[in-house]
Structure 1
Amino acid sequence: MKTPARALPGADERLRATPLSAGRTCVLLKGFDVSETSTTPLLDRIAEPADLRALDAADLRQLADELRRDLIEQISRTGGHLGAGLGVVELTVALHSVFDTPRDRLIWDVSHQAYPHKILTGRRERMKTIRQEGGLSGFAKRAESEYDPFGAGHSSTSISAGLGMAVARDLSKGTNNVIAVIGDGAMSAGMAYEAMNNAGALNARLIVILNDNDMSIAPPTGAMSAYLARLVSGKTYRSLRDRAKSLTKHLPAPIREGARRTEEYTRAFFTGGTLFEELGFYYVGPIDGHDLDHLLPVLKNVRDAGAGPILVHVVTKKGKGYEPAENSADKYHGVSKFDVITGAQAKSKANAPSYTGVFADSLIREAEEDDKIVAVNAAMPSGTGLDKFGARFPDRSFDVGIAEQHAVTFCAGLAAEGYRPFAAIYSTFLQRGYDQVVHDVAIQHLPVRFAIDRAGFVGADGPTHAGSFDVGFLAQLPGMVVMAASDEAELKHMVRTAAAYDESPIAFRYPRGNGVGVDMPERGEILAIGKGRMVKEGTKVAILSFGTRLADALIAARELDGFGLSTSVADARFAKPLDTELVARLAREHEVLVTIEEGAVGGFGSQVLQFLAMNGLLDAGLKIRPMAMPDRFIDHASPDAMIREAGLDAKAIVDTVFRALGKEAKRQLQA
C-alpha cells in the first residue's frame, strides 16, 4: 500500500508575495520573481541539449529555476498541461545533462510532463503555439523533433517501447542508452508490468525512471536515502555484488539462493523496491527528484552500469515551485490561460451545461432510485464527472486506476451478480479494453453500460485523444446497443434508458464540451430501443444524423430549403439496432439521403448502407452519401476547425447534397 511521501530534503518554502517597484505583487518561485524584468540568461543560451551539457554542474540549479519560470510564463498565456511538467524540471535538466540525447533515446510516458523537455530541445520559441492549430503538440511526437523518439498520449507504453528500442540497439550492435520515464499513476496499468517482466527475462540494458509524484511507494529518508542510492548504483557496489555472485555459484543451491535473497532483501529493507527486483530490475532509490546533487551522481552511475535493466525511483512533487499548482495538483494538471500572480484560470462563459456534467447529474438521479447502479472509472473521476457521483455514493463508485481492461471485466463481474454497472471511459481509452468488451461482456450478454465521453473531435488534445472508432468497434458486436446523444437533453434520456435496460450491453456516446442550450427535463425518458426521431419533414433531401452533428444538419437543411430543396432531418439516436423503418422511409421518399456522424468510416453510415443494400433499397436510384471522418488522423486545433477540416460542418453537408444532385443542380436552382 502506498504511503504519503515525506517532505523532500532541501525542499524550501520560499513561495511568497513580495511588492514590486511598480506597486504590484509578484509570486516568488524558488527564489526568483516572475515579472516583466525577469531574465533567463542561462536558458537563453540553450538551443539544444548539447548546450546544456557544456554548462558547469554548478549552473544547473539556476538553469532549472529559469526553466521552471519560463514554463509557468509560457503556459499562463496558452494553457496546457502544467503540474506534471513543473514536477520534472530538475529531472529533465539532469537527464539531458547526463545522457547524450538524441543518440540516447529518452521516452516520456503519456508525455504530459514533456513541456520542459520541449523547451530544452529547440522548441522554446514555438511554445506559444502549443496545442493550437498548426503549433506544437501537447504530447511527445516523432514528427516534431528528433528528441522525441516515441510518440505518446496514452499511458503506460514507455517501458514496452523502450524495451523494443533497447533490443533493436543490441541487434544492431549499438551502444546508446534507452531511458523510459514513467509516472507512478501509469504504473497502475498492467502493460507496464508486462514490459518489465519481459525486460527482466531478457536482461536487456534498459533504464526506467519511476517518477513517483503522488503517493510515494517508499518515501525517501533524507541524506541516508541519497547516500544509499549513490552507493547501490555505483560501480564499486555492483562490482562487489557481481563478484559475490560468481563466488556463490560454487556453493550448494540452498546456500546460493539464501545468499541471493539476503543481499536482495537487505538492500530492499533500506531502499524499497522488492517488487521491481522480483521482475528482474536492479532497483535504485528512492531519491529526491528535485535535488540535483542527488540526481546527477545516481544517473551517471546508472548510465555507466553494465548489462541488465535498472529502475531508478525518483520522488517529485507535482506542480513543484508554483504555489497554486502545489496546493491543487488536480486543477493545475491541465489549465486554461491563467494569471501567474494569482493563479486564477480564465473560464469561458457557458450558456449550457457540459455533457460530462449532465451525465453525472443524470446518473446520480437514477442511482437515487436504484441501489443496484454502480459507477466505474479508470483514473478519470473528475474527467468523467464521477467525482460527483462518488461524493454522493462513495460505496458505489470505483476508480480502478489506469486499467481499462480491468475496468471492463470488473463491470462484467458486477453485472453477472445483478448490479447495473456504468463504465464511464473516454472513447479513446475504451480502445484499450476492447478485447474485454468482446469476450467478457458481449459474448456473455452481460448488461454493462458504457458511458463514452469525448466522442468525436476533442480539440487541443489532438488525434491521440479523439473519439473516432467506438461506433465502429462496438456496433459490429452481436447484441450490443449503441446510442449517440444529439444534445444534452437526449443524453439525459440515454442515461435513463441505459439504467433501465438489462437485456444486453448498451453504450451511449457524447462529446467533450457544453451542450447546445436546449430545454432540460427534470428526469430523462426511457427511449424505445432502436427507434430514432424525425426532427424536420421535407420531400427532396433527407439528412440522417447520428450524434451531435444534428445541429449542423438543421442549419444545412434551412439553407437547402432556401434553394428550393425541401429537406428532412432525422436524429437516428441508435446505430445498433438501427431504426430500419425510419431509414427505409427516408430512402423511399427522398431523392438524396445523407448520413452524417462524428466518427470514422465503418460506423453508423456503414450500418445504414448494409441495411439498404441487403433490402434492395439502393436499386431505385437513391443517391446516398455517407459523411464520416476522413481516413487520416487530424492534428490538434479547435473542435470547430477540426470539424471543418474533416468536412462535417453545415457547409460540407450542403456541398455533399449538390454533388449528389450533379454539377448543374445548384446553377439551375440559383437561376
Structure 2
Amino acid sequence: MYLEYVNTPSDIKKLNIEELKSLSSEIREFLIKNVSNTGGHLGSNLGVVDLTLVLHYLFDSPKDAFIFDVGHQSYTHKILTGRKDKFNTLRTYGGISGFPKRIESEHDIEETGHSSTSLSFAYGLACSKEILGLRGDVIAIIGDGAMTGGMALEAMNNIANTNKDIIIVLNNNEMSIGKNIGAVSKFLNTTLNDSLVQEASEKVRGFVSALPFGDIANEFIDRGKGAIRTFVAPGIAFREMGFKYFGPVDGHNFEDLISTFQKVKSIRGPRLVQVNTIKGKGYKIAEENPAKFHGIAPFNIETGELKNKSYSKTFSNLAGECIIKAAEENKNIVAITAAMESGTGLTEYAKLFKERFFDVGIAEQHAITFAVGLSENGIIPFVCLYSTFLQRGYDQVIHDIGIMNANVKLMIDRAGLVPEDGDTHQGVFDVSFLRIVPNITIMAPVGEKDFRDMIKKCIEYRGPTVMRYNKASIRELKKNIVSDNFEIGKAHIVREYNKQKNLIISYGPTLIDIADAADELNFDCSILNLSTLKPLDEETILSTIRKADKVLIIEESMKKGGIGSAILELMSDNEIFKSVKIHALPDKFFEVATRNELLQIYKLDKDGIKEIIKSYF
C-alpha cells in the first residue's frame, strides 16, 4: 500500500510511525518475493529493514552519506533510492548489483563487497568534508561480524581520537555468514554477569540502608540493575575509547530507533550506536536458519528449499572431503578458514575434527600468519579461502609464507570468473600476484582425479603450496586430459598433432572445453596441460614450443602477469621467437553475470574457444 508510492528517501519522511511499520512489512514481503526468484543476500537484508528506514527517515541522503560495510545489506537502501522497479534484475547480467554501485545511484557513496572497510572510508570522507567546508553527516553501518576484521579496529582506534563527525551504526546480529567467532563478538554480545551485578548491588544496598531514606534508595538500586548492565558492557569500553555511545537499541522497535537517532543527530563528534537486529527477521525459515539464508540461490518461499537443487559435486565439496580423509590418516593436519566454513566445504570437517579446525573470523591476514606459526612444529595447515579474500592477506603470503618457506597449504576456492557477485568477488588475480612470490608452488586441477592427486602431493611436499579451483561443478574428464601419475612441476601432453604444427597450452577445467572445441573443429593440434603453474615444467614447455609453428595460450585468469606472460618470459630467456597468442581476461573489472555468461562474453567457453582457434590458426 505504501511501497508503491516510495521512489525517493523524501517520500518516507511524510509517513508516521505506524505507516513506517506497515512499509517495513511490505518491504520484507517484497524482498522475500524478489530474492526467491533471483537469489541474493536475504537474511542480513531482512534484519536491517527497520534500521534503514529510520536512517532515511531522519537523515538526508546523499548529503548525509550512508556507507554500508560489505554492502550486501543495502537492499532496502536501494529500494528507497529509486531502484525498486529494477529488483527483478538483482545480481543478473545488465541488472542491478547486490552491492552498492556508484554508477547506479548518487546515494551509493562507497562501492563495497569486502568486509571491514567502511570505517576507514567514512573517516576519510568526514575529513574531506571538514577540509572543504561541506555539510552533512557520515553514517557507517557495520555488522558485528565485520568488527572482527582488523581494518575496522584500526579505523576505530584512529576515529576515536578525533572530533570528526562520524556516526558508526553497529548492526549487532551475532552473525557473519554463520555464527560469529572470537572475543570481539563475545564482547559485543555480553551484558554484565548477573552475579557481579547482584554482588555490587548488595554492597551498595548495605551501605545505603544505614542512611536516611535508605528504603527509597534501595528501590532505585533494584530498578537500576538493568542500567548497570547496559552501561558497563559494552558501552563503557566504547566511551573509554572516545565515542559517544548509545545503546543497545532494539533494531525492530521504531519508537526506540527514532528517539535514539534523534539524540545522536543533535550532537557532534564520533558517535557509536549499537543496534541489535535479528538476521532473517520476518521470514521464520530464515530466522531459524540464518546461515543458509545469508546468501542463497532462488528458493521456494513456502519451504525455503532451493528451486534448482544441484546434486553434482563441486570443488569446494571435494576439498572438504579430501581434507577429512587426509586428517583421518595424519593427525598433524589442521584446517583454517576465515568466517567461510560452509563456503569452503569445511562444515563436515569442523564437526569431525573440532580440535583441529580453526575459524579465525574475518581475518585473512591473521589466518595466514597463524598457519605459518602452526607449521613451525610439524603441523600441516590447510588454509581455505576464496581467491578474492586471499588478496587481503597478500603481505602475509610474501612476508610470512614466502620468505620463511613455510609448509602451509593454501586452498584457493572461487578462482577464476565468479558468478552473480560482480567485480568485488572475482577470483581472477591470484595467478598474477602469486606466481611472482619465490618459494611458492601453484597447482590447478582439471577434475576430481588430479585434484585428489594434488592434495596427496601437497601433503608430501615440504614447502608452501597453492591449489586453485573454481566455483563450478566438477566436470567429467575426457580421456588423457590429466596425467595418470601427477608430479609437481611436470606438465602433461594431452595430445600431439599429426601434421599441423599447432600448440595450445592451458590449465584447469578450461582444458575440457579446449579439447571439445578441437574435436568439433577436427582441428589438428597438440594440447599441453600445465598442471603446475609454478614452477613451470620448462623442459616440456620449451620442447613443445620449439616443435610448433604457432602457439595459443588460453587461461581463465588475467592476461597481464598471467601464465601466458610467464611462458613469454621463458621464451625470451631462451631466445625462442614464435607466433604466440595469449587469450585470457582483459585489463578490467568484471560485471555481474552467471558463470556461463561470463565465459561466453570473454570467449572462454567451448564456442568462444572455437572462434579463437579459427581466427588465429
TM-score (norm 2): 0.89
Is residue 54 of structure 1 aligned with residue 10 of structure 2?
Answer: no
SS of the equivalent of 1:112 reads: coil
Match of 2:605 among 630, 638, 649: 649
The answer to whether structure 1 residue 275 and structure 2 residue 231 are counterparts is no
Q: CA deviation at 1:552?
A: 1.3
Deviations 1:200-228 (A, max 9, x none): 1222110000000126745699xxxxxxx
Q: What is the one-letter code of the residue matched to 2:604?
A: L
What is the letter of the counterpart of residue 35 of structure 2?
A: I
Amino acid at match of 1:323: K
Residue number among 81, 86, 92 corresponding to 1:126 in the alignment? 86
Could you tell me which of 433, 439, 448 is aligned with 1:479?
A: 439
1:145 has 2:105 as partner: yes
Aligned to 1:405: 365
Kept after mapping to 1: 8 A contact 2:364/2:390: yes
CA contact under 8 A between 2:174 and 2:189: conserved in structure 1? no
Q: Is 2:268 the counterpart of 1:312?
A: no
Aligned 8 A contact 1:595 1:627 in 2: yes
Instruction: Specify which of 435, 459, 477 is matched with residue 499 of structure 1.
Output: 459
Number of the residue aligned with 1:576: 534
| Deviation sequence 1:483-509 (CA, Å, 0-9, x none) | 11112222212211111111x211010
- Aligned ranges for residues 613-652 of structure 1 at < 5 Å? 613-618=572-577, 622-652=578-608
- Residue 104 of structure 1 aligns with an amino acid whose one-letter code is D
Q: Of 106, 113, 131, which residue of structure 1 is paired with 2:66?
A: 106
**Aligned pairs for 1:208-219 within 5 A:** 208-214=168-174, 217=187
Structure 2 equivalent of residue 595 of structure 1: 553
Work out whether 1:85 is the aligned partner of 2:45.
yes
Tell me if the contact between 2:144 and 2:188 (Cα under 8 Å) persists in the aligned partners: no
Q: Distance in 1 between matches of 2:57 and 2:389?
A: 35
2:216 is aligned to none
Pair 1:302-2:258 in alignment: no
- Mark the CA change 1:271 to 1:55 in structure 2 (over 3 Å): closer, same or farther: farther
* Amino acid aligned to 2:236: T
Output one character per residue of 1:332-353: Cα deviation in whole Å (capped at 9) or x when no partner.
1112222222222213444x41
Aligned equivalents of 1:219, 1:476: Cα separation in 2: 43
Q: Kindly state the Cα deviation for residue 270 of structure 1 after the two structures are TM-superposed.
A: 4.8
Match of 1:666 in 2: none
Supply the distance in 1 between the matched residues of 2:476 and 2:524 (Cα, whole angstroms).
26
Shift of 1:526: 7.5
Identify the residue that residue 9 of structure 1 maps to in structure 2: none
5 Å-filtered alignment, 1:128-277, equals: 128-214=88-174, 217=187, 269-270=231-232, 272-277=234-239
The structural deviation recorded for 1:654 is 3.5
* Structure 2 residue 67 is matched with structure 1 residue 117: no
- Name the CA distance, whole Å, in 2 between partners of 1:57 and 1:285: 20
Cα distance in structure 2, aligned partners of 1:279 and 1:407? 27
1:70 is aligned to 30
The whole-number CA distance in structure 2 between the counterparts of 1:342 and 1:507 is 39
Q: 1:323 aligns with which of 284, 302, 312?
A: 284
Letter in 1 for 2:249: I
Q: Secondary structure at the match of 1:398?
A: strand
Could you tell me whether the CA contact under 8 Å between 1:319 and 1:329 is conserved in 2?
yes
In structure 2, distance between residues paired with 1:288 and 1:61? 14
Superposed CA offset, 1:445-479 (max 9, x none): 11111000000111101111110111111110111
- Per-residue CA deviations over 1:205-258 (Å, capped at 9, x if unaligned) read 10000000126745699xxxxxxxxxxxxxxxxxxxxxxxxxxxxxxxxxxxxx
Residues in 1 aligned to 2:237 and 2:369: alpha-carbon distance in whole angstroms: 25
TM-score, normalised relative to structure 1: 0.82
Structure 1 CA distance for aligned equivalents of residues 515 and 365 of structure 2: 39
Residue in structure 2 matched with residue 446 of structure 1 by the alignment? 406
TM-aligned CA deviation for residue 658 of structure 1? 4.1
Instruction: Indicate the RMSD between aligned Cα atoms, in angstroms.
Output: 2.0
Q: 1:513 maps to what in 2?
A: 472
In the TM superposition, residue 525 of structure 1 has moved relative to its aligned partner by 8.4
The aligned amino acid for 1:357 is N
Q: Which moved more, 1:100-109 or 1:585-594?
A: 585-594
Q: Which consecutive residues of structure 1, in runs of 5 or more, have no partner in the other structure? A: 1-40, 222-264, 662-671
Answer whether contact 2:495 2:528 (CA < 8 A) is retained: yes
Percent identity over the alignment is 42
The number of residues matched between the two structures is 566
**Do structure 1's residue 542 and structure 2's residue 503 form an aligned pair?**
yes
1:13 match: none
**Does the 8 A contact of 2:169 with 2:275 survive in 1?**
yes
CA contact (8 A) 1:455 1:510 kept: yes
Query: Contact 2:190–2:234 (CA<8 Å) still a contact in 1?
Result: no
Structure 2: 5+ residue stretches without partners: 176-185, 192-226
2:294 is aligned with 1:333: yes
Match of 1:420 in 2: 380
Conserved 8 A contact 1:284-1:313: yes
Distance 1:659 1:349 in 2: 36
1:379-390 → structure 2 map (5 Å cutoff): 379-390=339-350
Give the corresponding residue for 1:242. Answer: none
Aligned partners of 2:58 and 2:262 also within 8 Å: yes
Question: Match for 2:490: what amino acid?
Answer: K
Other-structure match for 1:293: 255
Describe the SS at the equivalent of 1:81. coil
Give yes or no for contact 1:575–1:607 (8 Å, CA) kept in 2.
no
Equivalents in 1 of 2:258, 2:30: separation in Å?
Answer: 22
- Residue type of the alignment partner of 1:637: A
Amino acid at match of 1:274: I
Q: Deviations over 1:576-603 (max 9, x none)?
A: 1001122112211221111111111212
SS at match of 2:342: helix
- How far does residue 126 in structure 1 lie from its aligned partner after superposition? 0.4
Given residue 241 of structure 2, which amino acid in structure 1 is its aligned partner? L
Instruction: Indicate the larger mover: 536-545 or 568-577.
Output: 536-545
Report the CA distance between 1:625 and its aligned residue: 1.1
8 Å CA contact 1:595, 1:605 repeated in 2: yes
1:154-194 deviations in Å (ceiling 9; x for gaps): 00011111111111111111220000000100011010011
2-structure distance, mates of 1:346, 1:110: 27
Alignment check: 8 A CA contact 2:250 2:256 kept: yes
